[in-house]
Structure 1
């Protein structure tokens, strides 16, 4: 029988409202799928200003700007980061270009939000963060899940000790992709790990701390990228996380954080808005927080609000997702990559 009593309701989220943070002028580097959704989310739900977009060609930038109602379009990354009316640059390029884009923005004295993963390995992540710190500009990985109201409910449940001694994390993320999707292209650091696996390893290292041991198995695709990976992580005190990512099949994409007193479940997709369910260890009680936000990428704006909040407070990184945590996660993926014999393409 559980010695802890679950409350009648779970705590509400404490995320900042759009009106409580400074309105920044954003420059978006990249004109792909995630860039369009990020811009749409900011425009629909915040007072943040999308001032400019940059791409490798002027035509691509102008087409994106026209579709999104953005005033200025730049035909190069240099022109975007040099725009005096841009306060912060959102890096929305393919993975292998994150490092170069982020360093370019930092070198221009711009704050930067880098789409996840911030780099293709822990070395790149450290290089970007160190450069931002030296330049005195804010830098954050856009792991949007951690800034959702849903995850702040989880944060408070863990902080209150409602789960008891947390021993286990279970998480999977599987989606099916067909050619010619970039995730199948090794030349742009494709594969399941950096796109999908980073969500499950982030959840595990966020809840249990850095991994002390990593065991992995998996398979490759015909195109030469990782198709799926099963990962068994050991954390401090021998706590364990069992994780899986795949681009071959659609899986439940659920997440579980289990302790000695209760179990917290994030019905799939765990990385998007959704409910939080806490069930006592003996199964006698269950409490649910229901997310008012719809499932989907319309919630990407929460990461931008975190950037604006931190910059307004004079911070150079987010306490919710600091550089040390980002690097701990990427070290796990580096070790998985090593064990699976995956060779990453050179960075740009």
Structure 2
């Protein structure tokens, strides 16, 4: 049994915790939080025998093999650093950290200690996204020429963590990482990035991004905390086009159109979510003795943090000043 400790008790901790608990060869053995009462409540819900009122206690639990870091990104480095120092494998929610400097420190610590670390970018483990990636890699799709993707929705409650600069708020880190992540997965690092957008409440409230590549390929991406975006994606190659239903990063339906107009529909099997894929990836890589994932390499996580930090620096506030 692969034994997991859950760091934090919010919605994503609960969701992934239930996915772990449902796997026949995994179990949640402990939950940690700054609130012991919340840790006990989630531990009871997930069938975990131990609950702790601090993350330091959680990582010291001898019955924990892997720590899933589900705190706001402002606390990712803090918790991951404790877990790595304790020799625990780490699955850390996306984005890997709140800043590039934090992400670089986290990766350096894990590599120096020889401890497994992976960003929980569940989009990369969605079976339909993986199918699309294989089609592109095999040449079946042709050369990718354009990508369009969006993800955003209004968040009217200004006390929500997404509007809180101290918690790593803003559209880009939490939502924009998905459109950017799709472009990164299929096209790599761009030659040029153009960003338009606006600040509100001290965070990036919205951003439109154009990525341009050396071979002329491009990606048009959109994210927002103030507008209801479509959440779909379209990938166009020289031989095929793929349309991904919303939300594209967790899509359950993809339609591929070939050069003759023939349409093929791919539908996700029930239960085969990206969450399942990412926790099984941790299991499989640990069984091999690996310290990184080839599906979600740490160098890709660092490259994404560079893009996010660059994009955030280009969003302007209403007076025209840089963010």
TM-score range, shorter chain: over 0.9
Secondary structure of 1:237 counterpart: coil
| Separation in 1, partners of 2:17, 2:274 | 11
Alignment of 1:118 onto 2:93: no
Q: 1:224 aligns with which of 184, 196, 202?
A: 202
Report how far residue 157 of structure 1 moved. 1.1
The residue number in structure 2 matching 1:250 is 228
How many pairs are equivalent? 319
Check the 8 A contact 1:227/1:247 in 2, yes or no: yes
Alignment of 1:132 onto 2:115: no
Q: 2:215 aligns with which of 237, 241, 246?
A: 237
| Separation in 1, partners of 2:231, 2:314 | 24
The residue number in structure 1 matching 2:262 is 285
Secondary structure of 1:333 counterpart: helix
Gaps of 5+ in 1: 1-22
Report how far residue 47 of structure 1 moved. 2.9
Alignment of 1:332 onto 2:323: no
Deviation string, structure 1 residues 115-156 (Cα, Å, up to 9, x no partner): 000112322222211211111111000001101212221122
Return the TM-score normalized by structure 2.
0.93
Gaps of 5+ in 2: none
Check the 8 A contact 2:145/2:237 in 1, yes or no: yes
Q: What's the Cα RMSD here?
A: 2.0
Q: 1:212 aligns with which of 162, 187, 191?
A: 191
Report how far residue 341 of structure 1 moved. 4.7
The residue number in structure 2 matching 1:198 is 177
Check the 8 A contact 1:153/1:276 in 2, yes or no: no
Deviation string, structure 1 residues 236-255 (Cα, Å, up to 9, x no partner): 42321110011112222111
Q: 1:173 aligns with which of 132, 148, 151?
A: 151
Secondary structure of 1:190 counterpart: coil
Higher relative contact order (CA 8 A, sep 6+): 1
| Separation in 1, partners of 2:106, 2:182 | 22
| Separation in 2, partners of 1:118, 1:341 | 24
Q: 2:296 aligns with which of 321, 330, 333?
A: 321
The residue number in structure 2 matching 1:66 is 44
Instruction: Go from structure 1 to structure 2 and tell me whether the alpha carbon gap of 1:86 and 1:335 turns closer, same or farther (over 3 Å shift).
Output: same
The residue number in structure 1 matching 2:167 is 188
